[in-house]
């Protein structure tokens, strides 16, 4: 289930957490509380996106996905993928597993590359927030 690299990272993270706890218990507890709050804030968005993606992957057949953004869709598929990527607001930690699922469902590599690129860089939905900066 887990690769050796993942296990090493978990052990390293746990070791550094223990080191931090030994060095300063108060700061470590405060950091863990902040991390938990951040997790609680992200969780509803993450779950709702996963549910929507699950429903879409259940409703749309692999043939439909392949027809819209498959290898054969060419530049029209890339335009569709770029529009979808530009207007959706999906965090990166959800976008890459979604890209994997889309590839397994028949989407083309170029179309998914365009989707991920526009998803991470364009963000039409966030323009009003970013306008002031």
3-state secondary structure the chain: CCCHHHHHHHHHHHHHHHHHHHHCHHHHHHHHHHHHHHHHHHHHHHHHHHHHHHHHHHHCCHHHHHHHHEHHHHHHHHHHHHHHHHHCCCCHHHHHHHHHHHHHCCECHHHHHHHHHHHHHCCHHHHHHHCCC
CA 13 to chain centre: 22
Residue 38 pLDDT exceeds 70: yes
- The model carries a pTM of 0.61
Mean pLDDT estimate for the chain: 86
Per the CB < 8 A criterion, the answer to whether 73 and 107 are in contact is no
Summarised one tens digit per residue, pLDDT across range 53-62 is: 778 778 877 7
pLDDT at 43 over 90: no
Q: Where are the domains of the chain?
A: 1-59, 61-133
Residues 117-125, mean pLDDT to the nearest whole number: 83
pLDDT for 96 equals 87
């Amino acid at each position: 289930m887990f690769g050796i690299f993942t296990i090493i990272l978990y052990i390293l993270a746990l070791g550094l957490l223990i080191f931090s706890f030994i060095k300063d218990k108060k700061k470590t507890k405060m950091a863990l509380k902040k991390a938990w709050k951040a997790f609680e804030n992200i969780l509803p968005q993450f779950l709702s996106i996963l549910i929507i993606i699950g429903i879409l992957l259940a409703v749309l057949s692999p043939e439909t996905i392949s027809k819209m953004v498959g290898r054969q869709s060419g530049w029209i598929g890339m335009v569709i993928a770029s529009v979808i990527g530009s207007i959706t607001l999906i965090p990166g930690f959800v976008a890459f597993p979604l890209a994997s699922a889309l590839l397994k469902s028949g989407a083309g590599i170029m179309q998914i590359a365009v989707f991920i690129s526009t998803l991470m860089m364009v963000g039409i939905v966030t323009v009003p927030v970013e306008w002031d900066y």
